[in-house]
């Protein structure tokens, strides 16, 4: 007696653990082997093509602001590559390419001097601003592209000033060196922001593919534009300036799309001010519309509503820089208001100064900055309210931090320049008085 065999069905699914799985085929073993494919071949090919340019698991593996930022970023990059062809053409012409009187050694030396000044400029910029790039990623992203525009402008005008040609191209090289450092550092910070599934390397690799395509398209269009405008200075300048205006607009839109959930000094001030007034915490998306993307001095004239208190707070003050009276106030605070704290707060020339303890942690730095901002908000013109601000911190700080976490903020640390000056204080009984 024969036993009827059960029908066996095997399904083929496509996708990884971080993507939405889709069934691509169904294989049936009874009564005969049959394969039924799902979806069109074109859809499968398109999906494989798209995977070369977007992170695995897209869109769930990246933050919502990834797509608008990348679109505007690629558009500004495209305009940059087109303008590069115009500025490079002018630079090569100024060096003497195509002229019989030009010498190889002369052109080589000028190019070498240009690159050397750029390298030195990059090192100096890193030395002075390296630790500040992470805390102000938006601002420096915009500044980096502005410096790149200035560098290309220098290359374009270099033929107009043959007597100071080397000086002009060196200035342009220095300007672009700032761009390289600032753009690379801020891009690393933004990649970490976009990565929702610890996929920063994948995001960075796919961005490289996107930029490669943009570079090829930009170079082709740039060569075409350079060919068309050759011998027509007005057309060259009109094209360059028009593309530069679009470049800055695209950069502005790209940076405005970002809703960073890390806490830097300005974002701390904005969320704390709102919490002290309403008891509610703003989301990263709400704060992104209020914060400055240019230096405070450059944008305060156009946005009075978002004036931040963090300009009144100095983090990591050097103790030996204080005068005799300020030291007395500091020692008194250490023995009365901040016995158990790992930071000291004091008023100095209208600013709230923070002295960090040598054993302070990232959490202590964040707490000290919030405390200083709370003190700046509560302080009147007559006196510094240490007790009142401490009472506010004791009552509201834990609830404030919890609400920050619930709203999507990262509360592990404060993004700020590196604190290199710290102090140590020991509070014990003393019968003497401080003179």
* pLDDT, tens digit (0-9, with 9 covering 90-100), for 56-112: 878 788 999 999 999 999 999 999 989 888 887 777 666 655 455 555 666 676 767
Residues 215, 277: one domain? no
Neighbours of 109 (CB within 10 A): 12
What's CA 147's distance to the chain center, in Å? 16
Q: Work out the pLDDT band at 42, boundaries 50, 70, 90.
A: low
Q: Work out the pLDDT band at 306, boundaries 50, 70, 90.
A: very low
Query: What does the longest C-alpha to C-alpha distance in the chain come to?
Result: 111
- From 301, 297, 296, select the one nearest 270 (Cα to Cα): 296
Residue 59 lies inside a defined structural domain of this protein: no
Residue 23 lies inside a defined structural domain of this protein: yes
Domain-ending residue, one of 233, 257, 281: 257
Residue 412 lies inside a defined structural domain of this protein: no
Sign for the pseudo-dihedral over CA of 255, 267, 317, 185: negative
What is the mean predicted confidence (pLDDT) over 32-46? Answer: 67
What is the domain count for the chain? 3
Which residue carries 């240490």 as its tokens? 386
Residues 231, 274: one domain? no
Residues 271, 381: one domain? yes
Residue 56 lies inside a defined structural domain of this protein: no
Residue 60 lies inside a defined structural domain of this protein: no
Listed range (24-33, 157-166, 285-294, 299-308) with the worst mean pLDDT: 299-308
Domain-ending residue, one of 203, 235, 257: 257
By the 8 A CB rule, do 7 and 16 touch? no
Residues 109, 249: one domain? yes
- What is the spatial distance between Cα 130 and Cα 186, in angstroms, rounded to a whole number? 10
Residues 381, 314: one domain? yes
- What is the spatial distance between Cα 211 and Cα 218, in angstroms, rounded to a whole number? 10
- What is the spatial distance between Cα 345 and Cα 314, in angstroms, rounded to a whole number? 10
Residues 203, 272: one domain? no
pLDDT at residue number 433: 44
By the 8 A CB rule, do 308 and 377 touch? no
Residues 183, 325: one domain? no
Residue 4 lies inside a defined structural domain of this protein: no
Residues 238, 163: one domain? yes
Which residue carries 């640390």 as its tokens? 413
Residues 150, 219: one domain? yes
Q: Which domain holds residue 378?
A: 267-406
Neighbours of 120 (CB within 10 A): 14
Residues 109, 242: one domain? yes
Give whichever of 230-239, 242-251, 372-381 has the largest mean pLDDT.
242-251
Domain-ending residue, one of 208, 238, 257: 257
Residue 422 lies inside a defined structural domain of this protein: no
Residue 105 lies inside a defined structural domain of this protein: yes
The pTM of the full predicted model, rounded to 2 decimals, is: 0.78
Residues 222, 334: one domain? no
Q: Does the pLDDT value for residue 41 go beyond 70? A: no
What is the mean predicted confidence (pLDDT) over 329-339? Answer: 79
Residues 154, 214: one domain? yes
């Amino acid at each position: 007696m024969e036993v009827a065999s059960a029908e066996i069905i095997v399904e083929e699914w496509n996708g990884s653990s971080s993507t939405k799985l889709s069934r691509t085929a169904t294989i049936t073993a009874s009564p005969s082997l049959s394969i039924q494919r799902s979806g069109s071949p074109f859809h499968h090919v398109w999906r494989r093509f798209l995977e070369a340019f977007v992170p695995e698991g897209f869109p769930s593996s990246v933050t919502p602001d990834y797509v608008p930022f990348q679109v505007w970023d690629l558009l500004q990059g495209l305009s940059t590559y087109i303008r590069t062809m115009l500025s490079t053409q002018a630079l090569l012409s100024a060096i003497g390419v195509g002229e019989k009187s030009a010498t190889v050694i002369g052109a080589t030396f000028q190019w070498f001097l240009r690159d050397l000044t750029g390298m030195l400029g990059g090192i100096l910029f890193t030395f002075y601003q390296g630790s500040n790039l992470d805390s102000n990623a938006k601002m420096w992203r915009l500044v980096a592209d502005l410096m790149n525009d200035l560098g290309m402008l220098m290359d374009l005008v270099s033929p107009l000033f043959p007597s100071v040609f080397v000086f002009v191209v060196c200035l342009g090289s220095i300007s672009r060196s700032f761009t390289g450092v600032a753009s690379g550092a801020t891009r690393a910070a933004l990649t970490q922001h976009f990565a929702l599934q610890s996929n920063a390397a994948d995001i960075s690799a796919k961005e490289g593919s996107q930029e490669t395509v943009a570079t090829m398209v930009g170079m082709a269009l740039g060569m075409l534009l350079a060919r068309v405008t050759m011998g027509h200075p007005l057309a060259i300048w009109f094209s360059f300036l028009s593309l530069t205006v679009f470049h800055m607009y695209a950069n502005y839109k790209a940076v405005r799309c970002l809703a960073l959930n890390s806490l830097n000094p300005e974002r701390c001030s904005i969320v704390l001010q709102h919490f002290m007034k309403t008891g509610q915490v703003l989301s990263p998306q709400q704060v992104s519309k209020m914060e400055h993307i240019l230096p405070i001095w450059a944008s305060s004239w156009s946005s009075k509503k978002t004036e931040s208190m963090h300009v009144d707070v100095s983090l990591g003050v050097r103790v030996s820089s204080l005068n005799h009276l300020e030291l007395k106030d500091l020692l008194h605070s250490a023995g009365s208001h901040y016995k158990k704290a790992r930071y000291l707060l004091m008023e100095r020339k209208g600013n709230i100064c923070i002295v960090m303890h040598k054993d302070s942690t990232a959490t202590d730095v964040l707490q000290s900055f919030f405390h200083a901002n709370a003190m700046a908000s509560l302080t009147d013109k007559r006196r510094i309210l240490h007790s009142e601000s401490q009472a506010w911190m004791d009552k509201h700080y834990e609830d404030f931090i919890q609400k920050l976490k619930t709203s999507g903020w990262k509360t592990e640390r404060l993004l700020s320049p590196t604190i290199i000056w710290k102090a140590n204080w020991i509070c014990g009984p003393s019968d003497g008085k401080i003179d």
